[in-house]
Chains A and B, each alone.
Chain A
Amino acid sequence: MIKHFLAYGNSDQVSFRSDLVRECFDVMTVPGTIAAYYQDATAAFVLSSEIPYLIDPRTPLFQGRIESPKPSHVSLAEWHGEHVLRLVTAAVDGHDSYLSPSDFDDPGVLRDMVDRIVHEQTAYADRAPGVENKIDRYRRLLAEARGSSHVESAFRPAAPIGVVAPYFAVTSTLDPWWSVNRRVWDYCVESHANDLAVMPVVTVGDVSVLDQALAEVPADLGLDVLFWVTGFDERRAVGQDLDALWSTVRSASNRGVRLANMYGGYFSILLARAGLAAFGNGLTYSESRAWPALAATGAAPARYYVPALHLFLTPALAQALLDLAPTLGCECRVCRDESGRSRSVVALTYHELKEHFAAARQWERVFVDTSSVAEMELQLVDAARIVEGVRDRLPPRSNVSTLHLDTWARVLGRCA
């Protein structure tokens, strides 16, 4: 089954202690900004969670003009070496600050950045002795959440499952930043071959250039490759782009590459049929991510994921839809009461909305893993048809889009 990477956010701690959520994903991805800024608390939480994890260095935050850096960006800049930190500090002081590809013509700048980023990740578990009290507290909270007052005495903080190399977004492989990425990878191969597996991140602005970019990742780096098509929203994407993504994933998979899409939703789960190994998102957020708007963060809005539509709606609109079309209802443990009756969506708490999302995502993964392509197509087309049957009875101006369902069904029909 395709692996699910779930992003950690500060407002998600309760969710990550929930057994239901913990059963529904494989790897926790920790944004570098959070890891660097809330150093002790994040290390204690991540290490005590005993969940496999990765740390995303989020290097594109510093790419190009550095404007109004937040305190968390300054902290993360420290992880990127002296040169980046100097530029970010200058920006904080109001100076015009710009990180350009030519800054890395000095091999020392590139090496310093890579060494620091790699070190912060490989040595992450070494933070445990400095945050023992916090780890104890988080372990107690985790035990309590799981209905136990007993905390096991044996505890071994684990290193991340791999090291994410620093990375820069590119428009194509002709982009000057691509050459910086190449040199980063070459240096990783040369100097960090004995560390944890180094994972490159191929970040492109258009799905049409992804195939070539992936083909240029050095094989010596290992088979695990992350990718991010900036601003690519699976629900809004046209069929042609989805076809291209399918074909790209299939061809990389045929080369033996284990590809992970950093930001994706149900279409990425469908891409398991093309060979996608993993995909990531947050608990009810970040199924796509724009760049350079990467700086935009904050707690996810309260919204309900309708698994049959593979779509988020406000809880009230979701309830209005389910009132009209109960067959679109969710069967998960959050959405049903003890006697199996549907619970009111609008009554779900913020935490329950997140738990439901995790369960729904798990259902989607299992469904794709155990169904035929024809069944997957039928599910999409059926759900769209049900919505069309009640659309004129929904409150005026209700935005329940189903275009993506038909588009995805057609892509499945063509590609799978």
Chain B
Amino acid sequence: MTISVERPAVSEAVLVSRVLRHLSKLGRVVRWGVELNGHGSAHIDVCAYIGGEVIGIEAKLYDWRRAIGQAALNRYTVDRSYIAVEPRRATAEVAELAARYGVGVLCVGEDSLVVYQEAKLLSPDPRLRDRTFGRLKTGRRA
């Protein structure tokens, strides 16, 4: 009998670095691991300032439900909130659940980053949003 075990194509850190690399090519300000007051000790995996908007991205290889949960809670801090998944994880099921919380889906491959589903424009808490923006501006890591 052969037991097939699904192996990750990349590690989560690689997924995050790919997001950073792709966004950096766009010339945007990007930080990794920005502390989010609202989450207590948790961090947003990637934070970016693109087109005048603060963007938060949670990257996950497997537990995309958890990623959506975390991204949904980023709504108090960022203007748009995304999850980043490998191309094979970007499915209608993921997009549907993400959409319920206004969360967008980024499909991240080695050579590409595609917006699989656009995130809803949120109304973050102004103070938290400004603080995150300030960190992006200064490049200060939390």
Residues of A bordering B, CB below 8 Å: 301-303, 314-317, 319-320, 344, 346-347, 395-398
If A314-B42, A344-B125, A347-B125 touch, does A319 touch B76 (CB 8 Å cutoff)? yes
Q: Closest Cβ of chain A: how far from B15's Cβ, in Å?
A: 19
Given A302-B37, A316-B76, A344-B125, 11 more pairs with CB closer than 8 A: A301-B40, A301-B41, A302-B41, A315-B37, A315-B38, A316-B74, A319-B38, A346-B37, A346-B77, A346-B128, A396-B72
Residues of B within 8 A of A301 (CB): 40-41
Q: B69 within 8 Å of A by Cβ?
A: yes
- In angstroms, how far is the closest chain B Cβ from the Cβ of A241? 29
Which residues of B in the span 45-104 have a Cβ within 8 Å of any Cβ on A?
63, 65-66, 68-70, 72-74, 76-77, 97, 101
Q: List 10 A-B contacts (CB under 8 A).
A: A302-B41, A315-B38, A319-B76, A320-B72, A346-B37, A346-B77, A395-B101, A396-B66, A396-B97, A397-B65
Shortest CB distance A319–B (Å): 6
Which residues of B line the A interface, CB within 8 A? 36-42, 63, 65-66, 68-70, 72-74, 76-77, 97, 101, 125, 127-128
With a cutoff of 8 Å between Cβ atoms, the chain A residues found around residue B101 in the complex are 395
Interchain CA distance A395-B38 in the complex, whole Å = 14
Residues of chain B lying within 8 A (CB to CB) of residue A317: 73
**Nearest B residue to A316, CB-CB:** B38
With a cutoff of 8 Å between Cβ atoms, the chain B residues found around residue A344 in the complex are: 76, 125
Contact yes or no, B40 A395, CB < 8 A: no
Describe B's contact surface by its main secondary structure.
helix
How many CB-defined contacts (below 8 Å) exist between A and B? 55
Instruction: With A302-B37, A303-B40, A397-B65 as known contacts, state yes or no: A347 contacts B127, CB within 8 Å.
Output: yes
Chain B contacts for A396, CB-based, 8 A: 65-66, 68-69, 72, 97
Cβ–Cβ contact A395 & B73, under 8 A: yes
- Which of A302, A314, A344, A396 gathers the greatest number of chain B CB atoms within 10 Å? A396
Check B73 against A314 for contact (C-beta < 8 Å). Answer: yes
Contacts of B68 in A (CB 8 A): 395-396
Distance in angstroms from A27 CB to nearest chain B CB is: 28
Q: Which residues of A contact B39 (CB under 8 A)?
A: 314-316
Q: State A382–B39 Cα separation when bound (angstroms).
A: 27
**C-alpha gap A347/B124 in the complex (Å):** 10
Provide the residues of chain B in CB contact with A314, threshold 8 Å: 38-40, 42, 73
Closest chain A CB from B65 CB (angstroms): 4
A301 CA to B41 CA, complexed, in Å: 6
Q: Is the CB of A316 within 8 A of B73?
A: yes
What residues on A are CB-neighbors of B74 within 8 Å? 316
Kindly list chain A residues whose C-beta atoms are within 8 Å of the C-beta of B69: 395-398
